[in-house]
Amino acid sequence: MEAGALSTPVLRARRNRKDRIGDPLLRGLSGLAAAVAVAAILGISYEVTKIASPAISRFGLGFLTVNDWNPVTERFGAAPFLYGTVVTAGIALLLAAPLSIAISVYLTELAPQRLRRPVATLVDMLAAIPTVILGLWGILVLGPFMRDTIEPALKSAFGFLPIFSGDPSAFGYLTAALILTIMITPIITSVTREVFETVPGELKEGFYALGATRWEMVRRVVLPYSRAGIVGGAMLGLGRAIGEAIAVAQVIGGAYGIHASLFHTGGTLAAQIAAQFQGAPNQLQRSSLAYLGLILLVFAVIVNVIARVIVRRGGLEEAEFTPTEAEAL
């Protein structure tokens, strides 16, 4: 048969053998593929739980609150890594969300028409950088800069606060949080920008007609209208930040314990797994690492699902879709 839409010259009213097989075959194959996708997610949950089960039966739910990771006494707990994950991802979100909103405002309201596409593309390119390269940049460029410039400045200005006490260090919570910020800003920006572009022009013009300034219009029209999209996008970014193992492992310093100072080295759920899984010296430790993985899985999936529900509810058109979202979403 020829390819192309309407080039079949003959009415094919009679179905031949090929057609009798073809339809069920395609239906069956594609259904099988869908089953594979479902099997994948079930398999992941099952396998990770299986590897973690020695640790789960030994430590139970208390694992989540134990602040210890001692291979010699065989006492393991997730608390320091939960803390590190929350701190680094939280700070990243705190910094990235306003930044993304500001960038989106620029891209949808302020930028001259010819600049919009190129600048948007450039911001999206930031999302495409492999995280191991961001980590490399973090180790060799950002880290020393934090240790020699930023952290001492923060310390001298705000050193009375516990989070800025302690010695400046190239590696630590703050450096990791900044790398994560760079990573998730394009994701949040992409979604936010999409939503901003769906705000009906009449609403905006109406506000201008009333004499509002651009900022007032944005504040009263665009932002409230886009609330769902912004929150959804922020949650997507959060999910990404929680799950990032490599770049964080490279710059967070691999220390144990819970530390108040942001300059201090620490660990996150994902980074700890990346650092120790392969070299775990015994079953219990490997199983504890898998337990960390299970916690991480639950955490990340919940955040992602909430994000999607909010985004879909917020009425983002399914068809408005750029390649960056294809990776993020």
Among 78, 192, 244, 259, binds other proteins (CB under 8 A): 244
* Least distance from other proteins to the Cβ atom of residue 186, Å: 7
315, 320, 322, 324: CA torsion to nearest 10: 10
Number of Cβ within a 10 Å radius of residue 228: 17
Q: Token pair 């139970």 is at which residue?
A: 60
- The answer to whether residue 79 forms part of the interface with other proteins (CB under 8 A) is no
Taking CB under 8 A as the rule, does residue 102 contact other proteins?
yes
Report the residue from 64, 65, 94, 140 that binds other proteins according to the rule CB under 8 A.
140
- Among the listed residues 64, 94, 133, 153, the single contact to other proteins using CB under 8 A: 133
Stretch 24-63: interaction string toward other proteins, x if CB under 8 A:
-xxx-xxxxxx-xxx-xx-xx--xx-xx------------
Q: Using the rule CB under 8 A, is 314 a contact of other proteins?
A: no
Nearer to other proteins, 201 or 211 (CB): 211
Residue 148 CA to residue 276 CA, distance in Å, equals 29
- Residue 161 binds to other proteins (criterion: CB under 8 A): no
CA distances from 82 to 79, 125, 129, 270, 271 (A): 5, 30, 26, 10, 11
User: What is the total residue count of the chain?
Assistant: 329
Residue 305 in the binding site for other proteins (CB under 8 A):
yes
Contact call for residue 95 and other proteins (CB under 8 A): no
Cβ of residue 86: shortest distance to other proteins, in angstroms? 15
Our CB check for other proteins shows the closer of 110 and 157 to be 110
CB atoms within 10 A of CB 115: 12
Name which position in 162, 216, 313, 315 contacts other proteins (CB under 8 A): 216
Gap between the Cα atoms of 170 and 151, Å rounded? 9
The verdict on 90 binding other proteins (CB under 8 A) reads no
Measured CA to CA in angstroms, residue 302 lies from 177, 239, 298 at distances of: 21, 9, 6
Pairing of strands 69-70, 75-76: antiparallel
